[in-house]
């Protein structure tokens, strides 16, 4: 069925609400109609994510209900025990998040599947924790993470507390494709509560999550009066992060007032992604006013965190995700080592497009580093295996896109525990007369200057998607022998998998001088992403090489029309 037929089908359906039909009738642009209906919003291992609105390629209640019915059918296929274990659902601050949560709960309840929901917004890692705590078969988080305000999303977890992998995602997708947009079962919310099919989660779960998080502290020999500016960027982090820092005894936490409370418009930030320094505008302004030691920002669903560190009065250093990961590994592993608490079979996990400094630090302390495809669904798949085999003990997982988790109580990136450790780390070094910038350069002096440049080329819409495919095709077919005058020593194409790492649309080029870079399309946004890494004993030369490789690779990408 072509897009216009689908459009007309929605307009003529008795099942579609009048408001949705009005929204569709008011669209004057034919390309807009086409973009809304030329495909179904794709359900993958990240679940669903898209722009809010009417249409099959948008986030709306019909898409949510259909996806949830597909999940319900999958759970029923796994047997009576899976049905009894039930599902936990959490949501963030975005437009329609609460409504989508209720719809998902009603669909599951109508299928006889017990469903647990929170009494309000919660950070994404708390849902991962809840799956393990409540021993449910699955979990759902309604969130679009750090995307702009017009987006929302729907992430699915499985019984280990980590995001679903391809096997479960494929099962759910197969069930979804059997369904039309009016096949989802439904039950009135209050009736489902009355029947015990929907249950509001007791606050004891929150308390247990906090207690488990607090157990992850490394040291109390710290300056608890360290001056910190924190912004939750109008998301879910405000209460949990402030609670944890207060419980740890930090007395000088300063909140950005304009970004303290939930706001689905993200009016002061627009693109609420702390991976980019623009998100720190308000926080840095406050930090300069009070001469704060550290600036911390979490994204709207509080699974990612980034920091600025004071260099000198009025000036702040912007740490990237690789540097933050390296600092955390350095602090955590050295702290555990001092207490003789590094497990004999301890291991960290990073993604294949994350830099090698953290790996180098870990291996210097006899901790093995494993690599997976991007995404915490893959990073946490290894500790899920190790839980059964006991081959390794998971210590830390991270990726360059400011996602980190320490400990095994959560199986997803967790900005609550990471914020706690980052503040503790800064307080530890402050007591010893050092800033985090000082420590970063201590690490460089010890291990070499690992430098990087990470960037995205945004190409939206149908034509943008096609151009991204052409770019990847061009790189695959070109057999490049050198970049920036440095010969290629190895090209790795993950299209069909590589060694122990699964298949993904990623190309990695290793150069003869030890530099390397990767290109891949984003799995959740209309972008092609570029990751460049070099190592040199000279910082200036390392930065030069990054820029030279960047210029050459971008010229080759942009030549693809």
Catalytic residue numbers?
Answer: 145
| β-bridge partners, 298 | 305
- Tracing tokens 């790189």 back to the chain, one arrives at 475
Going from the C-alpha of 143 to that of each of 154, 301, 342, 537, the distances in angstroms are 6, 7, 35, 42
Sheet holding 393-399, edge to edge: 368-372, 346-351, 393-399, 403-406
Print burial letters for 332-363: b (CB count within 10 Å at least 16), e (below 16): bbebbeeeeebeeebbbbbbbbbbbbbbbbbe
Question: Do 231 and 241 contact (CB within 8 A), yes or no?
Answer: no
503 torsion bin: left (phi>0), alpha (psi -120 to 50), beta (else): beta
Question: Do 218 and 251 contact (CB within 8 A), yes or no?
Answer: no
Q: How many CA atoms lie within 13 A of 322 on its CB side?
A: 21
Give the rounded distance of the alpha carbon of 401 from its chain centre. 8
Question: Do 521 and 468 contact (CB within 8 A), yes or no?
Answer: yes
Question: Do 516 and 352 contact (CB within 8 A), yes or no?
Answer: no
SS3 content of the chain, % helix, strand, coil (to 5): 45, 20, 35
């Amino acid at each position: 069925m072509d897009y216009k037929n689908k459009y007309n089908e929605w307009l003529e359906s008795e099942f579609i609400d009048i408001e949705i039909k009005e929204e569709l009738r008011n669209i004057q642009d034919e390309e807009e109609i086409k973009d809304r209906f030329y495909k179904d919003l794709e359900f993958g291992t990240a679940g669903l994510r898209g722009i809010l609105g009417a249409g099959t390629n948008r986030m709306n209640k019909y898409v949510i209900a259909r996806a949830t019915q597909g999940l319900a059918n999958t759970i029923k296929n796994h047997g009576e025990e899976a049905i009894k274990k039930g599902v936990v659902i959490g949501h963030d601050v975005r437009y329609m998040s609460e409504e989508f949560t209720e719809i998902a709960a009603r669909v599951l309840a109508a299928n006889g599947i017990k469903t647990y929901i929170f009494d309000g917004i919660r950070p994404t890692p708390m849902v991962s924790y809840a799956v393990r705590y409540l021993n449910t078969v699955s979990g759902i988080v309604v969130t679009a993470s750090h995307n702009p305000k017009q987006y929302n999303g729907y992430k699915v977890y499985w019984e280990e507390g980590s995001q679903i992998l391809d096997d479960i995602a494929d099962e759910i997708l197969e069930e979804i494709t059997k369904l039309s947009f009016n096949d989802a079962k439904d039950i009135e919310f209050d009736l489902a509560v009355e029947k015990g099919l929907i249950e509001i989660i007791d606050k004891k779960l929150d308390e247990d999550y906090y207690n488990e998080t607090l157990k992850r502290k490394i040291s109390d020999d710290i300056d608890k009066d360290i001056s910190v500016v924190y912004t939750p960027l109008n998301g879910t982090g405000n209460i949990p992060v402030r609670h944890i820092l207060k419980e740890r005894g930090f007395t000088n936490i300063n909140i950005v007032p304009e970004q303290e409370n939930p706001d689905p418009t993200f009016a002061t930030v627009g693109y609420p992604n702390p991976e980019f320094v623009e998100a720190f505008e308000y926080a840095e302004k406050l930090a300069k006013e009070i001469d704060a030691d550290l600036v911390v920002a979490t994204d709207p669903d509080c699974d990612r965190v980034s920091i600025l560190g004071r260099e000198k009065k009025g000036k702040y250093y912007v740490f990237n995700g690789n540097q933050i990961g390296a600092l955390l590994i350095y602090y955590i592993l050295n702290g555990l080592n001092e207490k003789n608490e590094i497990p004999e079979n301890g291991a960290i996990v990073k993604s294949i497009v994350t830099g090698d400094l953290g790996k180098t630090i870990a291996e210097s302390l006899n901790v093995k580093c494993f690599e997976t495809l991007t995404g915490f669904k893959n990073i946490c798949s290894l500790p899920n295996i190790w839980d059964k085999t006991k081959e390794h003990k998971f210590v830390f997982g991270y990726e360059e896109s400011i996602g980190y988790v320490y400990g095994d109580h959560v199986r997803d990136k967790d900005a609550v525990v990471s914020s706690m450790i980052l503040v503790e780390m800064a307080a530890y070094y402050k007591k010893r007369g050092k800033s985090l910038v000082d420590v970063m350069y201590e690490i460089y002096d010890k291990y070499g200057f690992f430098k990087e440049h990470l960037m995205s080329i945004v190409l939206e819409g149908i034509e943008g998607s096609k151009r991204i495919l052409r770019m990847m095709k061009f790189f695959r077919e070109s057999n490049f022998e050198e970049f920036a005058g440095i010969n290629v020593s190895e090209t790795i194409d993950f299209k069909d998998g590589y060694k122990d790492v699964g298949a993904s649309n990623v190309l990695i080029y290793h150069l003869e001088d030890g530099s390397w870079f990767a290109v891949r399309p984003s799995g959740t946004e209309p972008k092609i992403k570029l990751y460049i890494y070099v190592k040199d004993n000279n910082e200036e030369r390392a930065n030069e090489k990054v820029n030279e490789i960047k210029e050459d690779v971008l010229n080759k990408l942009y030549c693809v029309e």
